[in-house]
Amino acid sequence: MQIETINVNTPKFVYLMGYFAADGSFYEERKAKRCRFEFTDGYENKEGLEQSFQFLNDIKKLVEEILSKKIPSIRQRGNRYVLYFEDRKLEKIFKTYFKIQPGPKSNTINIPEFYKNTNIEKYFWLGLMDGDGIIAQKGRKIALEMCSKNLVEEFRSFLKENKIITELKEVSVNNRKKGYMSDKNSFLTIIRSPFYDIYANLIGFTHPRKKDWITKHLNKCAYFINRTNTKPFLINKKIIDYTKIFDNRVFVINGKKILKKYNIKFRKRGKNIRFTELYNDLKDKDISKLDFLKEISNYRLKMSKGSINSVKMPFIMNQKLEDISKFIRLRPGTIELCRWHAKSYNKDYIKIIKFLENIFDIETNYTAKMVPLFNSGVLRLFFSKITTKDLKKYSLPKWYSELKC
């Protein structure tokens, strides 16, 4: 939409509105009877402060392009930089079109309705996160903290639509970190590491400091993400084809009973039969793969002759099992349930433990730090096949080019 020669629906203007919602101010100088716009960014050390200047200089170029005029230079105030300017056209747009009046905006600013559910909505959230977004330099979370609960909830809805699960916390004034400007409670939403790559491609950061940190996290794999890839191992989209998963290290306990059932000679073998041998024996008797898989679903399986830990394997892959594989960490000869990642998906890891115990008929072991372990080489082999990790190098989204001046 063209207003006063300024198009408010361009990626650059939408981004500016998002950044204004975070770190912008619009206030009235009563004596002069005019309004001023102000944007700030800072950091406590020299390197970070240089990145703040670089970022604010990009904002300055963007504003100058939008307004088609030069604006005053950036000034330094202690450990932050400040960009301020006046513009009658932009002032009129804020007041009449966006209904934003000079003064505090912490509880009144929202994403404009006509930006929602459009291909330019992401630019608003990018601007907001470049301003108020938090990314831990060494930790495992990205967050947004603001006094506007409505805006935080709108952001959470946008993330949820794009399959990013978050949690919301209200932070009291007394519990906030020193230096937070407002004297009101704030609202914090957290994006944890399993969603880093989705977030980075969906929104990410253009702020130099935050962009560097998220890129380092992604490229150094400072987090782990399990991706399920069950399709190659399923028959009729639901039956698990263990013939493509298990090798000759896996034994079917009391598999001799199956041989006897189908009148197959034992050939002086023990009662536990190798999975691959059993499959080949039944195949020679023209027993179908589906019948074989259904047969072994009634038996317990273990890894190697000397192993004492055995499990039962499900015949059918259900969605719940596929989802839970996201929380599995592979360890030598065992698997670990990562409570941190279960929490990231807002899942109750106690219920997950019970589900795994029931479906595989296995008891949970715990480390000294109470980390749940499932000591089974068969399970480790199973989950190692159906899960993968995305180790691709992260590159900035191509749509960032729309913001270059």
Are 271 and 342 in a shared domain?
no
pLDDT confidence of residue 31: 67
Last residue within a domain, chosen from 312, 338, 372: 312
What is the amino acid identity at position 138?
K
305 CB-contact burial (10 Å; exposed 0-12 / middle 13-18 / buried 19+): exposed
User: Is 256 domain-assigned?
Assistant: yes
Last residue within a domain, chosen from 258, 289, 312: 312
User: Is 230 domain-assigned?
Assistant: no
User: Is 244 domain-assigned?
Assistant: yes
pLDDT confidence of residue 181: 52
Are 36 and 146 in a shared domain?
yes
Are 182 and 265 in a shared domain?
no
The DSSP code for 96 is: I
Are 325 and 269 in a shared domain?
no
pLDDT confidence of residue 222: 44
CA-wise closest residue to 230 among 116, 317, 123, 120: 317
User: Is 52 domain-assigned?
Assistant: yes
pLDDT confidence of residue 341: 83
Are 305 and 343 in a shared domain?
no
SS3 328: strand
The CATH number assigned to the domain holding 90 equals 3.10.28.10
User: Is 393 domain-assigned?
Assistant: no
Query: Which contacts of 345-354 are long-range, i.e. CB under 8 A and separated by 24 or more positions?
Result: 345/165, 345/194, 346/165, 346/167, 352/324, 352/327
Are 213 and 300 in a shared domain?
no
Tens of pLDDT along the chain (405 residues) come to: 555 578 999 999 999 999 999 989 998 877 667 889 999 999 988 999 999 999 999 999 999 999 999 999 999 999 999 999 999 999 999 998 898 888 876 556 789 999 999 999 999 999 999 999 999 887 778 999 998 899 999 999 999 999 999 989 988 877 656 555 556 788 999 998 888 888 999 999 999 999 999 888 887 754 556 778 899 999 999 999 999 999 999 999 999 999 999 988 876 667 899 999 999 999 999 999 999 999 999 999 999 876 778 999 999 999 899 888 888 888 888 999 988 888 888 889 899 999 999 999 999 999 998 999 999 999 999 999 998 766 667 788 899 999 987
CA torsion, ordered 373, 342, 205, 162, to nearest 10 deg: 130
CA torsion, ordered 126, 132, 138, 141, to nearest 10 deg: -70
pLDDT confidence of residue 394: 77
User: Is 232 domain-assigned?
Assistant: no
**Strand locations in 210-282, DSSP E?**
227-228, 234-235, 239-240, 250-252, 273-274
Are 23 and 82 in a shared domain?
yes
Total count of domains within the chain: 3
Are 111 and 187 in a shared domain?
yes
Helix, strand, coil percentages, rounded to 5, for the chain: 40, 20, 35
Last residue within a domain, chosen from 312, 332, 351: 312
User: Is 34 domain-assigned?
Assistant: yes
Q: Cα 313 to the chain's mean position, in Å?
A: 30
- Helix (H) or strand (E) segment spanning residue 61: helix 46-67
Are 130 and 279 in a shared domain?
no
Are 157 and 277 in a shared domain?
no
Could you list the residue range(s) of the whole structural domain that residue 262 is in?
240-312
Are 33 and 176 in a shared domain?
yes
Are 212 and 248 in a shared domain?
no
User: Is 352 domain-assigned?
Assistant: yes
